[in-house]
């Protein structure tokens, strides 16, 4: 018997899908669901042209390539349609301390031994004055800093995209409608639930139309119209770990060649993003309203723009956290309605993707089963908690003492799961990936080293190599990377030839 007092045998087959809300989340759901199950389902997406989308999520991570493979999307067509450029990582400026920078790249660094990761051999090399910077042994990182890019054989370079989120939603809308998705124009004015089961029965639009469904996907953004306002699923607030609750965004003209990485520039009370697209640059300042007000944030952002602004700065408010349940009754929240951390590591689009893939794997064809719901919610919570810890790491581990904001970040208590990882790396240099975790060992290592943690020791396997052997090992890796980077075309030349978009 499930939480409503009904047995799963009473469940009704799922045939009618209603996606409430469009934007990136809604159309990603529509695209994968229609491509996978469109022949057996009636899929409607409800959105209003009058309601704007957040639309600033312009940086992605390499998992998006998997999503596009599932959809069988042509990369060149997608990039041209969305004014996209390539992304090899994120450059963190002023995070460890003012005027100290590092890169979190998408690549692997060096070569691991089965007993110990490459960081242990690098650490031994640093002790013996035989090693350069940790980043010298990562192809993606060196290519990013050199402003170079190309597709390499056998997926020799890991990459993601910078894209126009609004154009991406339009691209996926056209794709989805090709597989039978019906778009319904209108504002949702009422959500009707069954008095007995509490399940959502229909949504009423301002036109008077009632859109009935068996399964509802809440893509209504921060408002959470279905999952929050109607089904009353509470929200778990993480603002005691993630202080930022606001962002101000603006677009500017391009004033130079597009670099193949996102720039994340720390300021006194937050951080600024700079994301180069083919036709413009996306900019924003993410900040905590406890330490700076909206007008000060606008002034800070506008003072640090490069290029002529193309719009007035727009303020966005959010609350970092996660719904206690992202699937409740016959409603699944995907995107901002399910929760939000912040844009620092470009995980928002990834979490949309993971939400819909997880739903496809647990799809309730014969009716909603509580065991499926519980599994979905547990997997979702585990995944976002790991991502939360990774993002909190950037704020906790810092040498900055120049503002109340950074002092508060540095001194806050963090989740025990994160504190363990920090302690383990600081004491031993070890990093272990949690099963099904998004960020791999090298991501944790790059950020922990970049933020200022130097391990106190290394694995004894590294001590088995003499200086000459260790030097040859390290220099061989670096030489291969330098040789490859030197042969790559510039990022600007490559994307213009590969997927250049029409001027807009």
Give me the pLDDT at residue 201, please: 97
Sign for the CA dihedral angle at 294, 295, 298, 300 comes to: negative
Query: Each residue of 152-198: pLDDT tens digit?
Result: 998 899 999 999 999 999 999 999 999 999 999 999 999 999 999 99
Give me the pLDDT at residue 142, please: 98
Residue pair 118/63 in contact by the 8 Å Cβ criterion: no
Residue pair 482/136 in contact by the 8 Å Cβ criterion: no
Q: Is 362 helix (H, G, I), strand (E, B) or coil?
A: coil
Mean pLDDT of 473-496: 97
**Calpha distance 457→454 (Å, rounded):** 9
| Neighbour count for residue 52 (Cβ, 10 Å) | 11
Residue pair 57/348 in contact by the 8 Å Cβ criterion: yes
Residue pair 258/491 in contact by the 8 Å Cβ criterion: yes
Give me the pLDDT at residue 114, please: 85
Which H helix or E strand runs over 256?
A: none
Query: Each residue of 38-96: pLDDT tens digit?
Result: 889 999 999 998 766 655 558 999 999 999 999 999 999 999 999 999 999 999 999 99
- Strands 314-317, 182-185: pairing is unpaired
E-strand stretches of 120-260: 160-162, 182-185, 188-193, 200-205, 210-212, 215-218, 235-237, 246-252
**Lowest mean pLDDT segment, chosen from 53-67, 122-136, 225-239, 358-372:** 53-67
Distances (CA, A) of 248 to 285, 317, 430: 5, 9, 38
What is the average pLDDT value for the chain, to the nearest integer?
Answer: 94
Mean pLDDT of 103-131: 94
Query: Each residue of 226-245: pLDDT tens digit?
Result: 999 999 999 999 999 999 99
Angle between helices 416-428 and 370-396 (to 10 degrees): 50
Give me the pLDDT at residue 1, please: 46
Mean pLDDT of 124-138: 96
Q: Is 340 left (phi over 0), alpha (psi -120 to 50) or beta?
A: beta
Angle 166-167-169 (CA atoms, 0-180°, nearest 5)?
Answer: 65
Which H helix or E strand runs over 375?
A: helix 370-396
- Percent of the chain having pLDDT more than 70? 96
Residue 12 has pLDDT above 90, yes or no: no
**Calpha distance 329→420 (Å, rounded):** 36
Give me the pLDDT at residue 38, please: 84
Residue 4 has pLDDT above 50, yes or no: no
Query: For 406, phi and psi rounded to 5 degrees?
Result: -70, -35
Among the listed residues 218, 215, 230, the one whose alpha carbon sits nearest the alpha carbon of residue 43: 215
Query: For 400, phi and psi rounded to 5 degrees?
Result: -70, 135
**pLDDT bracket for residue 5 (50, 70, 90):** very low
Give me the pLDDT at residue 53, please: 60
Token duo for residue 56: 């600033």
- Strands 200-205, 210-212: pairing is antiparallel
Residue scoring higher pLDDT (502 or 140): 140
Token duo for residue 493: 């030349």
Residue pair 243/252 in contact by the 8 Å Cβ criterion: no
Token duo for residue 147: 């402003």
Alpha helix (H) ranges present in 19-164? 23-37, 63-71, 75-82, 118-127, 139-146
Mean pLDDT of 22-42: 94
DSSP state of 148: B
**pLDDT bracket for residue 450 (50, 70, 90):** very high
Task: State the catalytic residues.
Answer: 87
**Domains present along the chain, CATH in parentheses:** 12-58+164-238+321-368 (3.50.50.60), 109-159+401-487 (no CATH), 246-317 (no CATH)
pTM: 0.94
Among the listed residues 239, 229, 238, 237, the one whose alpha carbon sits nearest the alpha carbon of residue 328: 229
Mean pLDDT of 289-299: 97
Give me the pLDDT at residue 365, please: 85
**Calpha distance 272→305 (Å, rounded):** 10
**Calpha distance 423→440 (Å, rounded):** 18
Query: Each residue of 390-419: pLDDT tens digit?
Result: 999 999 999 999 999 999 999 999 999 999
Angle between helices 23-37 and 165-177 (to 10 degrees): 30
């Amino acid at each position: 018997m499930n939480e409503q007092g009904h047995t799963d045998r009473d469940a009704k087959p799922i045939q009618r899908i209603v996606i409430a809300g469009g934007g990136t989340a809604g159309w990603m759901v529509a695209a994968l669901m229609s491509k996978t199950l469109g022949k057996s389902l009636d899929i409607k997406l409800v959105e209003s042209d009058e309601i704007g989308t957040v639309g600033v999520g312009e940086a992605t991570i390499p998992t998006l390539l998997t999503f596009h493979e599932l959809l069988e999307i042509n990369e060149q067509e997608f990039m041209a349609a969305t004014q996209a450029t390539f992304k090899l990582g994120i450059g963190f400026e002023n995070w460890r301390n003012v005027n100290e920078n590092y890169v979190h790249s998408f690549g692997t660094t060096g070569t691991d031994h089965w007993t110990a990761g490459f960081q242990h051999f690098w650490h031994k090399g640093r002790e013996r004055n035989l090693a350069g910077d940790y980043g010298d042994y990562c192809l993606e990182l060196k290519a990013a800093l050199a402003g170079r890019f190309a597709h390499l054989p056998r997926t020799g370079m890991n990459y993601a995209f910078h894209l126009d989120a609004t154009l991406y939603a339009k691209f996926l809308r056209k794709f989805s409608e090709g597989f039978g998705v019906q778009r319904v124009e209108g504002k949702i004015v009422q959500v009707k639930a069954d008095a007995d089961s509490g399940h959502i029965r229909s949504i009423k639009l301002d036109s008077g139309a009632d859109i009935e469904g068996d399964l509802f996907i809440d893509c209504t953004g921060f408002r959470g119209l279905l999952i929050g306002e109607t089904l009353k699923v509470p929200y778990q607030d993480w603002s005691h770990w993630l202080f930022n609750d606001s962002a101000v965004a603006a677009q500017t003209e391009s004033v130079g060649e597009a670099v193949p990485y996102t720039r994340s520039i720390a300021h006194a009370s937050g951080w600024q993003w700079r994301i180069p697209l083919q036709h413009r640059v996306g900019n924003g300042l993410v900040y905590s309203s406890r330490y700076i007000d909206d007008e000060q944030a606008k002034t800070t952002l506008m003072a640090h723009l490069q290029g002529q602004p193309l719009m007035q700065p727009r303020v966005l408010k959010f609350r970092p956290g996660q719904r206690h349940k992202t699937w409740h009754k016959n409603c699944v929240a995907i995107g901002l309605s399910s929760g939000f951390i912040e844009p620092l590591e470009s995980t928002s689009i990834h979490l949309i993707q993971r939400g819909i893939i997880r739903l496809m794997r647990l799809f309730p064809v014969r009716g909603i089963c509580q065991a499926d719901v519980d599994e979905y919610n547990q997997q979702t919570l585990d995944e976002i908690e790991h991502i939360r810890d990774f993002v909190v790491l950037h704020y906790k581990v810092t040498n900055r003492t120049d503002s109340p904001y950074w002092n508060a970040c540095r001194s806050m208590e963090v989740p025990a799961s994160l504190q363990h990882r920090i302690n383990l790396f600081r004491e031993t240099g070890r990093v272990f990936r949690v099963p099904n975790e998004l960020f791999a060992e090298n991501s944790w290592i790059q950020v922990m080293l970049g933020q200022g943690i130097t391990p106190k020791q290394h694995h004894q396997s590294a001590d088995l190599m003499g200086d000459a052997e260790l030097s040859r090992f390290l220099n061989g890796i670096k030489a291969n990377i330098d040789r490859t980077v030197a042969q790559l075309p510039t990022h600007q030349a490559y994307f213009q030839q590969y997927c250049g978009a029409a001027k807009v």
